[in-house]
Structure 1
């Protein structure tokens, strides 16, 4: 039960990430939706008392698994959105709910039914479910991720649940239903292959360890997307020439060059210059292979040049392996910082790493979203934060006009006078078809540059790994597309006002519990909120640190569930459960206070998530024992629902409000305050309900 439900959760999360352009805020939204629906199912499960309810629940899970994944896969087609188009927040939430409702409610119903099936052993059921979930996370991460596509995995989950239903119901004739996953699988592939996006052909769609890669073809041009985020088109000689000759015009004597991301076709243009070494770094080896397949013979031969090295590695990790100042020019060809996976290449920490491998006169070159004539508020916040972050690290930072979106940074003075730039590239760019001298005069017009700097200098907020601008960027983008009255109202609030707003909400919820003297359920509610919010913060911080949450989401989630299993198992026979409820609150506060200092080594992210899971599982078991009496399955179901209700609010508010607007550190501070309140109420609690 735990293993299959977690694998389905991972599949749905990964597919939602792919569908909604790799935006990590989707993790928070999807977890919130998943948790509230499972909580509703857990509450409903206390009402089912007929004999075979538990066995039938597995059959319902089997019938809803594949349709859930298929709906997520075709959301864009159903809702009328093209590849790469940003989907509004309201539509995002709506389709997330629609795709997962049947599956999640049934999974929630299973918990109280399992408690009744195992003769009222709620802590044991909680622990077994969590242990199974950890096993499912391990299987997915190390055996399935990147090797078996999501729809095939969902088909296997369907078959497993049909088999379990047959076993529990003792009806072998139900094995005939094993034809269902095969029928769904064939039907799903037929549906997926039938979409052509108005004349655009899908030539390849493949899941890698880092996202779902899709290649579209119209006429003779290919467009490559990763998790529905546009990466590049090929052939696209105009863009390829710009991305090579523009940086080389600023630093024409570059002999050692590092290119991070983008189309490998730009290598052809860089090799027009007297380059001694060119490193092209891309984290996703599958994307590299697909890119090579669509290149012409001549462009593929450029990749075989003895001066060129193609490296399949995370660029930040690659840079950290270098000990010397290697490069004259580093070109960042990453997409805009609209997700944490790309934002981590625009932070103060990354710029420090880049600076360490640039030679004395070396230059970092990057381009950001452009505008025509005016820089809007969203672009001002995102680009201004990156501009401020570059100035924090480099003494010299220059920009282009807003139509080009170029920013360069160096230890040394950068000369962007158009005449000098034109002279530097006259010979090497002579054979180019689209790159012309007038482009440099337009891009580096002194008056336009002055206007851009004036606009960007108004933003003083730094973009860091712990407070990425990408989340706020996405909220602002959603607001612009959606019309966003309430989002715009939120943006107008100060950090202090945000904290007050959340505090009022917390006090209101607290009052509802205290009105009926439900201190123990209140503690479990805050634990659900705090543990999931804290875990989400650690996951987002992990994405900023490592950059491959798509691959490791299963292991991270499984680690949390393993902690929950061990915590529940260890607490199943507590003699003083109320005392231990207080101890768990104290340990949760200690864990959160130490988190900021520990989130800099990969293994610590897993230990922090494991710790949160352990304390959450222990508190659930202690709460169940504290309130034990007749009807344990009903009590366990209600406690489970309260726990998940807190988790829902914690996931939703953390993803859409606190992390984007006040950052990770202050969000953790609020969680500390919440747990401190819970501890105080427990200390004053005397009467055991």
Structure 2
């Protein structure tokens, strides 16, 4: 076997480990930050930035083959070590109590991402040092992309059956053995021994992490679902079990009043024997409250049937009894699909989703869902939207979320009210007048034989204090309606981790941003002109770099937007993140391998127009085919532009690769984190089109 082929196999494994760690870390941060799409962009920004820096540093150094192989072994060890750092950081993030512990947890996570990605970029540059031609970099780029495809596919296919860590451990051990085959030094044997010891310590490290959060419980088993990871813990005596979803209790120990708070305000508005729809991840208080009510039927919506079946086995006995009734059905559909395809209507619809990122997906990105909910109700039916109470803190972002929902609901229903209770803020909506006084609601419930203890004077003082903390006046007086193209308050998904602290710099910046957006729409035009002008200047000075920069920018920005659309329309991004990344890489590999001809310029224009058309289509309707096609084309477009410029050999291959990463880094932070939240979804499409026109003008004129 010649040296180039040996290096190719080794670099393939290095790239395989890189993408696998990226997917594992992405799932980890999605778990920690409640599946907020914005965290994907922040994570990839750090990853791409560190990777580019690693390539730059690596291009200035040169090591012997012996030392390079040793560093590859060290890289596989680091991949395992930093995986453990993420596990150790989990209690810091899930058990947030102070701003210091929050920052410490974030620093642990960010350092793991930056160091392992930077190391990977440095190794890329070292392997490219064998020859300094652009073609060698292109070959490495193809090998890397192929490894990324395999890692993304395996991390998704295997995920529901085995932990992704097993694939990572297998790749790390294979790398060690391949290096050992090339050189047999004492440190090579030591490295293999070290990685085997680290792998064996995994259960101990995970158990210690869980013990930090849940003292008195020990690990029993863990199962993967399409929405996340379920972990079963048992008490030391074995008498009690605790089911965790994404590291937090799946069945919350709500106080006795929570069940009545969740269900009774809406029940007091409708006639006896109602038909009920329940959706959201926290159904226990709803079913507990409905256990004392006669009902025609109850439909429970779940997007993740495997998760629900596991959850069901650990529910309290009284809840299991309700679910087993013949008039209670569990339906495996999204809310939108169920309402579109159902002929009958409901008297009551409850939505209780405590995770802000998912609640905003259901409502904010799709304000038309409020109208769909309205159409799904019988005459006199009632919609009940439950938000977690803010009694313990004052979170401005959450008030914006509730205020926008309340204002939009008020525009759709004749009567809308908001109730500030102990455990929930409840928004009620109906075509009939609503009873919101405690005495009146209690009288209505008494007609149906329901005698709640909740509506007594004991709780009145608590509710009055909570209503003040929640900011009822701000919610009812909020002017902004839900709007797909005005998503400033959507940053709630990213910033919800700061809500535990009353006032901070983040909320002040958000308030200023909202003021600018609402009062000075001209800022949209100014921002667009600045971005396009800066790119024109760059294009004039460095045309080849500008084209590749645009390819990286457009590819990653479009890919991220397509991933957002998939999460918004269909959910399950936690499971499919590896598959979606692999799909991008398939397109990228296709673009890199295409034979270079003048026809490629026309093909690139067609790909760009198709990407823009699919993005606009997904603002109107959900389509898996459109998402998958768009991600594939995004990768193809990036690879095609890189291939075209690299073919002319006017720029060193490593410089092009770094420029590609810089474009991806800029597209990943500017579009999803800054432009979309502040200026909406349509402006980045215009920006991509403007950059594309400049880039393709350069392609036709200069190359």
Query: Shorter-chain TM-score category?
Result: 0.7 to 0.9
Structure 1 distance, partners of 2:485, 2:386, is 20
Q: Which moved more, 1:663-672 or 1:159-168?
A: 159-168
Shift of 1:443: 11
| Cα offsets for 1:64-104 (capped at 9, x unmatched) | 21122221222144x47616989999667633331123321
Q: Which whole-Å CA distance do the structure 2 matches of 1:87 and 1:551 have between them? A: 31
Q: Is 1:125 matched up with 2:143?
A: no
Q: Any gaps of 5 or more consecutive residues in structure 1?
A: 630-634
Deviation string, structure 1 residues 190-245 (Cα, Å, up to 9, x no partner): 12212434763455554422123356789999876533566651364321232232
Instruction: Name the CA shift for 1:671/1:203 in 2 (closer, same or farther; >3 Å).
Output: farther
1:307 aligned onto 2:322:
no
1:523–1:169 distance in 2 versus 1, CA, 3 Å: farther
Do the aligned partners of residues 26 and 277 (structure 1) sit closer, same or farther apart at CA in structure 2, a change above 3 Å counting? same
Could you say if the C-alpha distance between residues 169 and 313 of structure 1 is closer, same or farther in structure 2, counting changes exceeding 3 Å?
Answer: farther
* Cα-to-partner distance string for 1:598-643 (whole Å, 9 max, x where unaligned): 46211110100111100100111111112358xxxxx222211111
Measure the CA separation in 2 of the matches of 1:45 and 1:581. Answer: 32
Q: Distance in 2 between matches of 1:203 and 1:50?
A: 48
CA–CA distance in 1 between the matches of 2:506 and 2:442?
Answer: 49
Provide the C-alpha distance between the structure 2 equivalents of 1:9 and 1:84, rounded to a whole number of angstroms.
28
Mean CA deviation greater in 132-141 or 610-619: 132-141
Who is 1:389 aligned against?
408
1:379 aligns with 2:398: yes
CA contact (8 A) 1:124 1:569 kept: no
Residue 227 (1) aligns with residue 241 (2): no
Query: How far apart are the structure 2 equivalents of 1:326 and 1:644?
Result: 51
Deviation, structure 1 residue 36: 1.0
Shift of 1:302: 2.9
2 CA distance for matches of 1:490 and 1:374?
A: 17
Q: Does 1:559 align with 2:583?
A: yes
| Residue of structure 1 equivalent to 2:346 | 327
* 1:632 aligned residue: none
Deviations 1:339-369 (A, max 9, x none): 1475325642332333343222222111224
**1:36-80 deviations in Å (ceiling 9; x for gaps):** 111122223333353356644542331121122221222144x47
Name the counterpart of 2:434: 414
Change (3 A) 1:223 1:669: farther
Q: Equivalences for 1:102-251 in 2 at 5 Å?
A: 102-115=115-128, 120-142=135-157, 144-166=158-180, 174=188, 177-195=191-209, 196-197=211-212, 200-202=215-217, 206-214=223-231, 226-228=245-247, 232-234=251-253, 236-251=255-270
Q: For 2:640, which of 614, 618, 643 is the aligned residue?
A: 618
| Residue number among 494, 497, 504 corresponding to 2:523 in the alignment | 497
Alignment-derived partner of residue 101 in structure 1:
114
Q: Across the two proteins, how many residue pairs are aligned to each other? A: 668
Residues 579-594 of structure 1 correspond to what in structure 2 (within 5 A)? 580=600, 584=604, 587-594=607-614
How big is the alpha-carbon RMSD for the aligned residues of Structure 1 and Structure 2?
A: 3.9
> Are 2:283 and 1:283 equivalent residues in the alignment?
no
How far apart are the structure 2 equivalents of 1:606 and 1:361?
A: 41
Give the Cα–Cα distance (whole angstroms) in 2 for the partners of residues 341 and 57 of structure 1.
45
Contact 1:396 1:413 in 2 (8 A): yes
CA distance 1:303–1:132, change in 2 (3 Å): same
Alpha-carbon distance in structure 1 between the residues aligned to 2:524 and 2:500: 21
Unaligned runs of 5+ in 2: 1-11
For the pair 1:458 / 2:445, whether they are aligned, the reply is no
Q: Distance in 2 between matches of 1:111 and 1:151?
A: 23
Bigger Cα displacement from structure 2, 465-474 vs 538-547: 465-474
Taking the aligned partners of 1:229 and 1:488, their CA distance within structure 2 comes to: 29
C-alpha contact (below 8 Å) 2:152/2:579 kept by paired residues: yes
Check the 8 A contact 2:32/2:93 in 1, yes or no.
Answer: no
Contact 1:42 1:109 in 2 (8 A): yes
| Alignment partner, residue 11 of structure 1 | 24
Q: Mark the CA change 1:422 to 1:27 in structure 2 (over 3 Å): closer, same or farther.
A: same
> Distance between the aligned counterparts of 2:100 and 2:337, measured in 1?
32
**Contact 2:293-2:450 at 8 Å conserved across structures:** no
- Do residues 527 (structure 1) and 546 (structure 2) align? no
1:596 to 616, 619, 624: 616
Q: TM-score, normalised by structure 1?
A: 0.85
CA contact (8 A) 1:224 1:232 kept: yes
Cα 1:623–1:88 shift into 2, 3 Å: farther
1:301 aligns to what SS in structure 2?
helix
CA distance in 1, matches of 2:481, 2:298: 34
CA shift digits 1:137-168 (9 cap, x unpaired): 222222x2232224333322322322343456
Further displaced range: 111-120 or 101-110: 111-120
CA distance in 2, matches of 1:217, 1:504: 58
Q: Greater relative contact order: 1 or 2 (C-alpha under 8 angstroms, separation 6 or more)? A: 1
Q: Summarize the Cα distance change of 1:502–1:214 in structure 2 as closer, same or farther, 3 Å threshold.
A: farther
- Could you say if the C-alpha distance between residues 681 and 478 of structure 1 is closer, same or farther in structure 2, counting changes exceeding 3 Å? farther
Higher mean C-alpha displacement, 188-197 vs 53-62? 53-62
Q: Is the 8 A contact 2:37 2:493 kept in 1?
A: no
- Tell whether the 8 Å contact from 2:591 to 2:639 is kept in structure 1 after alignment: yes
Equivalent in the alignment of 1:547:
571
Q: How far did residue 523 of structure 1 move?
A: 1.6
Quote the Cα distance in structure 2 between the aligned partners of 1:389 and 1:38.
44
1:43 and 2:64 correspond? no
Relative to 1, partners in 2 of residues 1:647 and 1:230: Cα closer, same or farther, differing over 3 Å? farther
